[in-house]
């Protein structure tokens, strides 16, 4: 069973998620440039989430490229990942409207944590489906990024109620960590 339609559907959902987040930026009523200022936190939270969805799309693109077979477990693991990413616009909007307050920052971290877990489950489902010679398994290797990210999210959630700015810094740090393209996969590809 081909993986093209899985990619097409995921692309569609990710394209919609990345775009509807901008609908949370409600058009202000004044017409002066100053009327934009209160929107700054909403804009910043949009930027952060745009980068995160971009990272997921990017990594999803690389991972599926190495996947061999797509079975029922992979289809549902993929939908599970899309589910948590689809909650991101809600968490983003709540965080932006409350100026990065503690509660919304904790929820934002929790959604990131669930998405990271779902991504890991999807990776495992693909590797299990492909068997011991899985190209993806070799490419992923020890996966230190995938291991450290959830730990940082957990710390972020823990500190968010006391120092929300620290949580934001942690979330942004993880995004920067992933912005670097996944050399592991490119290396394996070049070696083929």
Kindly identify the residues of this chain, within the stretch 80-119, that bind its own copies according to CB under 8 A. Answer: 82-83, 86-87, 89-90, 93-94, 97-98, 101-104, 106-107
Q: How far apart (Å, rounded) are the C-alpha atoms in residues 67 and 124?
A: 11
Candidates 27, 142, 162, 192; binder of its own copies (CB under 8 A) is 27
Q: Long-range contacts made by residues 181-187, C-beta under 8 angstroms, separation at least 24?
A: 181/58, 182/59, 182/62, 184/139, 184/140, 184/141, 185/62, 185/63, 185/65, 185/66, 185/139, 185/140, 187/139
Q: State the minimum distance, in angstroms, from the CB of residue 16 to its own copies.
A: 4
Sign of CA dihedral 159, 161, 165, 169: positive
91 Cβ contact partners less than 8 Å away, ≥ 6 residues apart: 104, 107, 108, 110, 111
Near its own copies by CB under 8 A: residue from 38, 72, 131, 141: 72
Nearer to its own copies, 14 or 174 (CB): 14
Scanning residues 109 to 168, which ones bind its own copies (CB under 8 A)? Answer: none
Residues in the chain: 192
Nearest distance in Å: CB 25, its own copies: 5
Q: Is 28 in the site for its own copies (CB under 8 A)?
A: yes
Question: Among 67, 61, 52, 62, which Cα is nearest to 8's?
Answer: 61
User: Rule CB under 8 A: is residue 184 a binding residue for its own copies?
Assistant: no
How far apart are alpha carbons 92 and 77 in whole angstroms?
23
Q: For its own copies, which is the closer residue by CB, 73 or 155?
A: 73
Please report, as ranges, the residues that interact with its own copies according to CB under 8 A: 1, 5, 7-9, 11-20, 22-25, 27-28, 30-33, 35-36, 47, 50, 54, 57-58, 61, 65, 71-73, 75-76, 79, 82-83, 86-87, 89-90, 93-94, 97-98, 101-104, 106-107, 179, 181, 186, 189
């Amino acid at each position: 069973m081909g993986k093209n339609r899985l990619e097409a559907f995921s692309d569609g959902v990710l394209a919609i998620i990345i775009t509807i987040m901008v609908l949370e930026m409600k058009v202000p009523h004044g017409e002066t440039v100053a009327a934009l200022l209160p929107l700054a936190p909403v804009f910043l939270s949009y930027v952060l989430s745009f980068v995160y969805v971009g990272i997921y799309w990017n990594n999803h693109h690389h991972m599926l490229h190495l996947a061999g077979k797509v079975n029922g477990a992979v289809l549902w693991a993929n939908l599970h990942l899309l589910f948590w990413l689809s909650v991101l616009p809600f968490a983003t909007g709540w965080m932006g409207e409350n100026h990065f307050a503690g509660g919304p920052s904790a929820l934002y971290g929790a959604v990131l944590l669930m998405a990271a877990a779902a991504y890991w489950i999807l990776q495992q489902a693909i590797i299990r489906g492909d068997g011991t010679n899985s190209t993806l398994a070799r490419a992923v290797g020890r996966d230190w990024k995938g291991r450290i990210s959830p730990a940082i999210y957990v710390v972020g959630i823990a500190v968010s109620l006391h120092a929300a700015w620290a949580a934001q810094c942690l979330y942004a740090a993880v995004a920067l960590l992933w912005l670097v393209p996944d050399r592991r996969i490119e290396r394996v590809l070049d070696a083929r």
